Amino acid sequence: MMQAGLDHALVGALLLTGFLMLPARRAGALLRLLAVQGALLALAAGWQAWLQSSLPLAVVAVVLGASQAVAVPLALRALGWGTPAEPGLPLLPAMLLGCGLVALAILLVLPVGPGVTAMARQDIALNLAFLLVSLLGLVWRKPGLGQAVALLGCGHALLLAVVNARGMPLVLEITLGLMLLLATGLLGLRARVLGGMA
């Protein structure tokens, strides 16, 4: 029971960081929240590695901690995406929309097959809610740091789903592939931002 409790606490904390990113206006706050989100993702991977006694998941936890919690926020700041303030959603609409997306995720997961346990449904609902909240940030923000952070939030939600899937083969390779896909998306977004400035 404690295992599921810590799983849900980590996913809930990730969802909370997604909520906090919606109204964030300052670049420094967005980058700090992104670093916290990366660290929580690495903790979730490490927890699953410990539960499953899986060396590939332990490697994934170290890679996620080094890249998503440290390297990516520092790289975004170094690329100059950390300077201008961007408009975020106002606080009350952000929280209402986020709560609505969590409710939608729960309603979408309810009809999942009869052989699925309640804990698995909760995991799926929390992962889906985290993805939907990140997608809301991606849709709302202008091209720039806000969209980059939201894109990384979507990637974190997908990485969390990969990490939490018990017995998934090739977890390290899938994680590295998703991280390369995120890097490509960030480069494309950066090119779009630079193209819009010219």
pLDDT one digit per residue (tens) for the chain, 198 residues = 566 678 889 999 999 999 999 888 888 889 999 999 999 999 999 999 999 999 999 999 999 999 999 999 998 888 776 555 566 778 888 889 989 999 999 888 887 777 778 777 888 888 999 999 999 988 888 778 888 888 999 999 999 988 888 877 788 888 888 898 888 888 888 787 777 655
Whole-number pLDDT of residue 82: 54
How many Cβ atoms from other residues are within 10 Å of residue 40's Cβ?
Answer: 24
Chain-centre distance of CA 124, in angstroms?
A: 14
pLDDT value of residue 197: 58
* Location of structure tokens 């931002």: 193
What are the structure tokens assigned to 131, written together? 């993805």
Residue 14 is predicted with a pLDDT of: 93
pTM value is: 0.86
Count CA within 13 A, CB hemisphere, residue 168: 20
- Cα angle at 150 between 20 and 17, to 5 degrees? 25
d(CA 69, CA 80): 18
Sign of dihedral through CA atoms 168, 186, 99, 24? positive
Phi-psi region of 175 (alpha: psi -120 to 50; beta: other; left: phi over 0): alpha
What confidence score (pLDDT) does residue 1 get?
Answer: 53
Domain boundaries in the chain?
Answer: 16-197
